[in-house]
Structure 1
Amino acid sequence: MTKYSSELKVQIASDYLYGRDSYNGLSQKHNIAASIIRTWVKAAELNGLESLKVKRTKREYSVDFKLDVVSYYLKSDVGRNMVAAKFNISPSQVYS
């Protein structure tokens, strides 16, 4: 089970993307860390708001996909959260 619903993620990301609120404002309003909100917004920018929907099925990834993720993480100067947003996976999957 996920900590935050898909609807909440989409609403918060939409509020930021459409200029209705700031990271800090949304963080205080919903009592969620601004870094988490930034991750949702980045995922929405890169992959669309649909990417924030909770996936109910277990996905399996090819070896090539996993190597692409690891390679990008090692070569880029961005953190796990941004790599996860780029590849539409969770930050814990990047860590694993």
Structure 2
Amino acid sequence: MTKYNQTFKQQVVDFYFSNHESLSITCKHFDLPNETARRWIVQFKHSGSSGLAVRHSKQKYSPEFKFNVVQSVLLGQFSGRGAALHFGLSSSGMISQWLKTFEKQGINGLLPKPKGRLNMTPKYPKMPPKPKTRGEELELRILRLEAENAFLKKLDEIIKREDRKRQKRSKP
């Protein structure tokens, strides 16, 4: 839900023009931040009353559109505010987010995010099926013993490495 409707925005703009284009008087009269009133006035000058229209649903932009906007700002064709006006965006804040994302992640950062939660459960290897024959049972036992042996060797290696570090620290 937006904080201000189109009628209110139009009243602010009309008041501004009827009071000798005084931004400070307009902001005091309507108790608005300067930046908000300035943005509405610029949008009105650029697009007329349609520039003040309130969008009732969240806009979704294609990666190509986002890339065009970002490129126009990076190439110096527009400032963030100028690009917002030219491309019909509600604010330059969205462009700032796109620029930051593009700098960090490149074009992939402008792609739509997947919906839903990510599965955070770790994926462990599946256990082999229960052995059916004595031979399979022995093979499984060998695999377990080999894994245990490798684990113990690695543990012994780590303990010896830690002992050597302690000895080096204790020698003056």
Q: TM-score, normalised by structure 1?
A: 0.77
The code of the aligned residue for 1:53 comes to A
Which piece of structure 1 moves more, 82-91 or 25-34?
A: 82-91
Aligned to 1:32: 32
Which is higher, the Rg of structure 1 or of structure 2? 2
Aligned to 2:93: 92
Aligned to 2:112: none
Aligned to 1:67: 67
The code of the aligned residue for 1:47 comes to S
Matched-pair identity in %: 26
The code of the aligned residue for 2:66 comes to K
CA distance in structure 2 between the aligned counterparts of 1:13 and 1:65, rounded to whole angstroms: 30
CA distance in structure 2 between the aligned counterparts of 1:42 and 1:62, rounded to whole angstroms: 25
Let me know the Cα RMSD of the aligned residues: 2.0
Alignment gaps of 5+ in structure 1: none
Alignment gaps of 5+ in structure 2: 98-172
Cα shift readout 1:21-63 (whole Å, capped 9, x = no counterpart): 2111101101111221111111111122112111012222122
The code of the aligned residue for 1:95 comes to S
Conserved in 2, the CA contact under 8 Å of 1:42 and 1:82?
A: no
Matches within 5 A, 1:1-96: 1-16=1-16, 19-21=17-19, 22-74=22-74, 75-76=76-77, 78=79, 80-89=80-89, 90-96=91-97
Tell me: CA distance 1:76–1:33, structure 2 relative to 1, closer, same or farther (3 Å).
Answer: farther
Which piece of structure 1 moves more, 27-36 or 3-12?
A: 3-12
Structure 1 segments of 4+ aligned residues over 4 angstroms from their partners: none
Tell me: CA distance 1:11–1:84, structure 2 relative to 1, closer, same or farther (3 Å).
Answer: same
CA distance in structure 2 between the aligned counterparts of 1:8 and 1:82, rounded to whole angstroms: 24
